[in-house]
Chains A and B, each alone.
Chain A
Amino acid sequence: MKIEMHVNGRPVSGEVEGRTLLVDFIRHDLRLTGTHVGCDTTQCGACTIHMDGAPVKSCSVLAVEAQGAQITTIEGMANADGSMSAMQQAFQDCHGLQCGYCTPGMVMAATALLKETPKPSEAEIRHYLEGNICRCTGYHNIVKAVQSASGQDVTPVAAE
């Protein structure tokens, strides 16, 4: 089947089977490998992208279901001049990652949260990120990064 969609603002097309997962189309056909596959079972959130503005786990969306959709991946998050987005910068500033495997999904989910709730409380952040699993950080610095990206004061993180 032929599919067409917009990914990070660019029109793309490809030939897929009915069973092709959106994440595989993104990684293998489009070669956008910033979107990660962690569990492949809708649990971990490493493959989170935006589909028509809403967060989805791309391992649990058929590529054909994205026909005509507006897709944004982690590669589309940087500012126009190539600098990191506020959310990405906050993850760096707050040490919101260690191994980094979950980070693309975390950034996509957290960015979606701020679109819905510009100044989320700590509890709202933790509730929203329930579907994104990190096995390194213990989440505290991720939560701080989201608070920081939303312009809220956060307790300073230990010195470098």
Chain B
Amino acid sequence: MYDFDYDRPGTIQDAVASLKAEEAIAFSGGQTLMPTMKQRLAMPSKVVSLMGIEEMKGVRLEGSEVWIGGATTHATVQRELAESYPAMASLAGRIGDPSVRSRGTIGGSVANNDPSACYPAGTLASRGVIVTDRREVPADEFFQGMFMTALEEGEIVTAVKMQVPERAHYAKFIQPASRFPLTAVFVAKFADGVRVAVTGASEMGVFRWHEAEEALSSSFDAGAVEALATPDGTDMISDLHGSGAYRAHLVKVMTKRAVAAA
């Protein structure tokens, strides 16, 4: 990869200031960014590491809400949420492999919004809120399409907040080479409703399957999903790993599995 200037600020404030440099990029673990830079698909002149910012690390349970610092690794989330939110701990523990989980962070994952990433689905299903250096954005407004988010130039994801549901499960059908989801579904049942978030399927990135949410809100049972029509696969991702129609089929199958396991 091309050389760059490197900065490792210790506070959010310093990081924001450092990112004002021309062609600067935030670095939050680098498990996607580094391979991207090696391929020269990203050529930042300056890399601002967020990994030294202590106020962006850790997991805190505040009532029925979980606060996860943006620079918190998947391994830490897996460990810290094992008892308070096991479905999210399971999601974190199935991202990539142990080495990726040692370095990769939740902030990096949601900011990148890969259309096949795990955290966008978990965050959207958990009524998440993305906290940045300047505002709080509900997950519904934050994820705006493939690799697209509400983030402005130089804005940093400092934390992710989620509501802990009564029951939840993340059902993931992996693409065996990349081990990213080919299609995966996070189902979260709250006292006043159900959320179903799908990743890996849509050209528009993570989305909520509203028909399934309605059906499951009246009857939280895999049979309620079975009665629904398969979602329209016309606009879903079609590649050598699976057609849009196949992914649409998987959306329904994985939703049923998630409900059954929740």
CA distance A154 to B98 in the complex (A): 24
Q: Which residues of B, 66-82, contact A by the 8 Å Cβ criterion? A: 75
A42 contacts B31, CB within 8 Å?
yes
Query: Does any Cβ of B come within 8 Å of A65's Cβ?
Result: yes
Assess the A62–B6 pair: CB atoms within 8 A.
yes
The reply on A102 being an interface residue by CB < 8 A is: no
Contacting B51 at CB < 8 Å: which of A40, A65, A109? A65
Q: Are A64 and B99 in contact (CB under 8 A)?
A: no
Is B230 among interface residues, defined by CB-CB distance under 8 A?
A: no
List, in ascending order, chain B residues with CB within 8 A of A75's CB.
Answer: none
**Beta-carbon contacts of B171-202 to A below 8 Å, as 1s and 0s?**
00000000100000000000000000000000
CB distance from B43 to the nearest CB of A (A): 11
Residues of chain A lying within 8 A (CB to CB) of residue B99: 42, 45, 48, 55-57, 60, 109, 131
Tally of chain B residues near chain A (CB < 8 A): 25
Contacts of A31 in B (CB 8 A): none
Interface of chain B, main secondary structure? mixed
The answer to whether A65 and B49 have CB atoms under 8 Å apart is yes
Q: How large is the interface on A (under 10, 10 to 19, 20 to 34, 35 or more residues)?
A: 20 to 34
Not counting A41-B35, A128-B98, a sample of 5 additional A-B residue pairs whose C-beta atoms are within 8 angstroms of each other reads: A19-B3, A56-B103, A57-B100, A61-B34, A67-B8
Q: Within 8 Å of chain B (Cβ to Cβ): is A15? A: no
Decide if the interface of chain A is mainly helix, strand, loop or mixed: mixed
Q: Is B102 an interface residue (CB 8 A)?
A: yes
Q: Give Cα A55–Cα B100 distance, bound, in whole angstroms.
A: 9
Task: List A contacts of B97 (CB < 8 A).
Answer: 45, 128, 130-132
Choose among A40, A54, A61 the residue that contacts B38 (Cβ–Cβ < 8 A).
A40
Cβ of A26 under 8 Å from chain B: no
Asked whether, in the complex, the Cβ of B38 is within 8 Å of the Cβ of A17, the reply is no
For residue A31, give the distance in angstroms from its CB to the closest CB of chain B: 23
- A14, chain B: closest CB distance, angstroms: 15
| Shortest distance from the beta carbon of B78 to any chain A beta carbon, whole Å | 10
Chain B positions near chain A (C-beta within 8 angstroms): 1-6, 8, 30-31, 34-35, 37-38, 47, 49, 51, 75, 96-100, 102-103, 179
Nearest-neighbour CB distance to chain A for B54, whole angstroms, equals 14
Cβ–Cβ contact A19 & B2, under 8 A: yes
- The CA-CA distance from A51 to B103 in the complex, in Å, is 10
A130 adjacent to B179 (CB under 8 Å): yes
The distance from the CB of A59 to the nearest CB of chain B, in whole angstroms, is 8
Q: Does A112 contact B (CB under 8 A)?
A: yes
Complex Cα distance, B3 from A1, in Å, reads 12
Q: Is the CB of A62 within 8 A of B30?
A: yes
| Interchain CA distance A131-B100 in the complex, whole Å | 9
Q: Does A156 contact B (CB under 8 A)?
A: no
Q: Whole-angstrom distance from the CB of B61 to the nearest CB of chain A?
A: 22
Residue A18 at the B interface, CB < 8 A?
A: yes
- Given known A-B contacts A18-B5, A18-B6, A62-B6, A42 and B75 have beta carbons under 8 A apart: no
What residues of chain B lie closer than 8 Å to A57, measured between beta carbons?
A: 99-100
